[in-house]
Amino acid sequence: MIDDTLLEDAAEDLFEDAPCGYLSTRLDGTIVKVNRTFESWTGRDRGELLGRTRFQELLAPGARIYHETHYAPLLRMQGEVRGIAVEILCCDGARLPALINSVLRHDAEGRPQVIRTTVFDASDRRRYEQELLRARRREQEIARELQRGMLSGELPEADGLELDVAYRPGVAGMEVGGDWYDAFWLDDGETVGLVVGDVVGRGIGAAATMGQLRSAVRALASTGLGPAALVTALDEYARRHGVGRMTTLVYAELGLASRRLRYAVAGHPPPLLVVPGEEPCLVWDGRSLPLDAHRVSAHGRGEAIRVLAPGSAILLYTDGLVERRARPLDEGLDDLLREVAARRAEPVAGLVPAVVRALQDAENTDDVCLLAARVGARAVGC
Amino acid sequence: MSVAERNNVVEHGDPRGQPIVFAHGFGCDQNMWRFVWPAFAGERRVILFDHVGAGGSDAGAYNPERYGSLQGYAGDVLEICHELELTDVVFVGHSVSAMIGALAAAAEPERFARLVLVGPSPRYVDDGDYVGGFTREDVDGLLESMDANYLGWSSAMAPVIMANADRPQLGKELTNSFCRADPEIARRFARVTFLSDNRADLARVRTPSLVLQCADDVIAPRAVGEYVHARLAGSRLVLLEATGHCPNLSAPEETVAAIAAYLAS
């Protein structure tokens, strides 16, 4: 049997012992009515609160700023606010994590008169949310550490070789992007392998993929495959292991004595060549599709070979250097050519940061990577 | 992308009238001025905008370096003035935008006729004898508050909000949309706002100004308003009866009357 007297609660009882805190305040926040639930949750009684305390004074200082800059304006603009998280200062110094809803009550002329607020205990929910937030921040940190670790190796050094790189991590969503570079000696000890690549996606997944592909390129390069065969093998690797689909990269081998440049470009922006006495130019040969672009296909991987004049430089970069929203790619490439042309005589170590700075754009949030190598510069005049 | 698109510039009033630019503070967007700007649309050219990362602005244009100091935001104000070819500008800035306007006016004084600073503070955190009203810990507490409140801002919602700036009716269906912002950008804006120290910049401002000070403003207490008034050459201080930090919403008539009286003087 149900006791009907419990179903016929008096309105007063519904208010006082509701399963949520209940407050009415004036527009400036002064509390004019409060229920027993709120009193018992906060340990503050109505004698202390009514007519003397403003609701915002019961909030921790940080939440008070939030109240003034978000809650109060929203309430005025919308007439109600729902689901705002605050911490209420209890009498014993404890903080009650709460979710509050408020409505603005108007008089007959439509002028706002009083604010009604309900308060829900959100202690458990808040703890869980904080755990989630910590986990997400940690993940972003790990991704950044991973990326830093992989991109901080030393560059090859040799007489007759100038090599420099600039890398600026992107800021979109504050997550790490998927650009990477690498430069290493091949086994013959006189050829340098150069890589610049761009993995699809951001965050920890992109960082891990980048690490796998970077290691795979190094391992494959040491077998002496050459650029086209290396990209083919990398394609196979990507397909078999399901990593790095649609990654673009350029892989080049630069012989220091021979000044022979051999390269393959998989869906990546074209390398830029600076030959003494000539205008800088983009090279459009040796191109093929991004990694694993076709699930089942045996499309060929091209490569090209050039013998560079002494003092020539090759620049490899990612699309973040030249691509901008609301601007055709052609214009970005033209800007790059112009900036490089203006600095072509500078040492690579000065050229690289200057070009990145010149093309820097407040609106660009993508990763930016530029790697340049000049060969045989010191041989000139010998 | 034009500056006007980037900052979601909205114009009202008489295009040939004297320009009056309204800048919103930390927290919400240009809607903060909804009860104020119509009073000036009769004979002036009213310009409203959103700071990058707030309201209908292009959050993709956010760059932590540029917006790592209030100078970056002042740069945006100047870019808006350049693109719209505004001169003889009346700049009305609320909260942190009061200082943003002061920085812009210090950089290009010839462009500004008057400044109206609503609840200004050149530094929010106490420093020696200077009482800004907050401690460093309070600012950390604010960041925690923001974390707790942005959990409702899921990545699934972001594209809906960002992509529909031209369909405000959709925005209105989303609760609290006037104060929505990309959480990471909002955190950074909070830091820049509450940890900046622009006290030394006040002496560089030559533009005549009005300081509007509310009663019981916990964000910008009266002592801070008096500090600003004392250090801004050619400034006038008006104490409002309105309480809180947002007289533009809580007491629009009084706010309008104070601004109009100042501009008529």
Looking at residue B69, its pLDDT comes to 94
Above 60 in pLDDT, residue A182? yes
B189 in contact with chain A, both atoms CB, cutoff 8 A: no
Q: Among B95, B97, B196, B235, which one carries the catalytic annotation?
A: B95
Looking at residue B164, its pLDDT comes to 46
For chains A and B, what is the number of CB pairs under 8 angstroms? 126
Mutate which of A67, A69, A325 to disrupt the B interface (most B C-beta within 10 Å)?
A69
Looking at residue B175, its pLDDT comes to 57
**Percent of chain B surpassing pLDDT 70:** 89
Instruction: Give Cα B9 to chain centroid, integer Å.
Output: 14
User: pLDDT for A287-298, tens place per residue?
Assistant: 999 998 875 455
Phi-psi region of A43 (alpha: psi -120 to 50; beta: other; left: phi over 0): left
Contact present, B7 and B47 (Cβ < 8 Å): no
- Supply the DSSP string of B232-253, one letter for each residue: STTEEEEEEEEESS-HHHH-HH
Above 70 in pLDDT, residue A146? yes
Q: Among B29, B50, B201, B217, which one carries the catalytic annotation?
A: B217
Looking at residue A2, its pLDDT comes to 60
Above 90 in pLDDT, residue B14? yes
Structure tokens at A274: 């600076």
Question: Which among B61, B151, B243 has CB closest to A129?
Answer: B151
Contact present, A135 and A129 (Cβ < 8 Å): no
**Which of A4-13, A270-279, A329-338 has the weakest average pLDDT?**
A4-13
Contact present, A283 and A234 (Cβ < 8 Å): no
Mutate which of B35, B37, B179, B180 to disrupt the A interface (most A C-beta within 10 Å)?
B179
Task: Please state, rounded to an integer, the average pLDDT across all residues of chain A.
Answer: 88
- Read off the pLDDT of each residue in B148-170 and give the average, rounded to a whole number: 53
Looking at residue A306, its pLDDT comes to 95
ipTM score assigned to the predicted complex:
0.87
Does the active-site annotation cover B245?
A: yes
**Which of A175-184, A251-260, B125-134, B151-160 has the weakest average pLDDT?**
B151-160
- Chain A residue numbers touching B147 (CB-CB < 8 A): 130, 133
In whole angstroms, give the CA distance from residue B67 to residue A362: 10
Structure tokens at B240: 């409002």
**pLDDT band at A177, cuts 50/70/90?**
confident
Above 70 in pLDDT, residue B168? no
Output the 3-class SS for B133-170: CECHHHHHHHHHHHHHHHCCCCCCHHHHHHHCCCCHHH
Interface of A with B (CB under 8 A): 27-28, 56, 60-66, 68-70, 72-74, 76-78, 81-87, 97, 126, 129-130, 132-133, 171-174, 325-326, 362-365
What's the gap in Å between the CA of A122 and the closest CA on chain B? 11
In whole angstroms, give the CA distance from residue B255 to residue B42: 17
Determine whether the interchain pair A78/B178 forms a contact, defined as Cβ–Cβ distance below 8 Å: yes
In whole angstroms, give the CA distance from residue A374 to residue A146: 29
Contact present, A317 and A269 (Cβ < 8 Å): yes
Looking at residue A139, its pLDDT comes to 82
**Percent of chain A surpassing pLDDT 70:** 91
Sign, Cα dihedral of A199, B52, A332, A369: negative
More reliable by pLDDT, A173 or A34: A34
Does the active-site annotation cover B95?
A: yes
CA distances from A85 to A67, B217, B232, B244 (A): 10, 22, 38, 20
Does the active-site annotation cover B217?
A: yes
Bridge-partner residues for A199, per DSSP?
none
Bridge-partner residues for A176, per DSSP?
none
- Chain B residue numbers touching A128 (CB-CB < 8 A): none
Looking at residue B226, its pLDDT comes to 96
B219 in contact with chain A, both atoms CB, cutoff 8 A: yes
- Supply the DSSP string of A197-217, one letter for each residue: EE-SS-HHHHHHHHHHHHHHH
Looking at residue A286, its pLDDT comes to 93
Determine whether the interchain pair A76/B62 forms a contact, defined as Cβ–Cβ distance below 8 Å: no
Looking at residue B227, its pLDDT comes to 97
> What number of other Cβ atoms are within 10 A of residue A350's Cβ?
12
More reliable by pLDDT, B171 or A165: A165
What's the gap in Å between the CA of A14 and the closest CA on chain B? 28
More reliable by pLDDT, B167 or A82: A82
Residue of A nearest to B172 (CA): A78
A-facing residues of B in 99-138 (CB < 8 A) are: 134-135, 137-138
- Read off the pLDDT of each residue in A149-176 and give the average, rounded to a whole number: 81
Looking at residue B149, its pLDDT comes to 81
Phi-psi region of B7 (alpha: psi -120 to 50; beta: other; left: phi over 0): alpha
- Read off the pLDDT of each residue in A162-180 and give the average, rounded to a whole number: 78
Above 80 in pLDDT, residue B195? yes
**Which of A150-154, A297-301, A335-339 has the weakest average pLDDT?**
A297-301
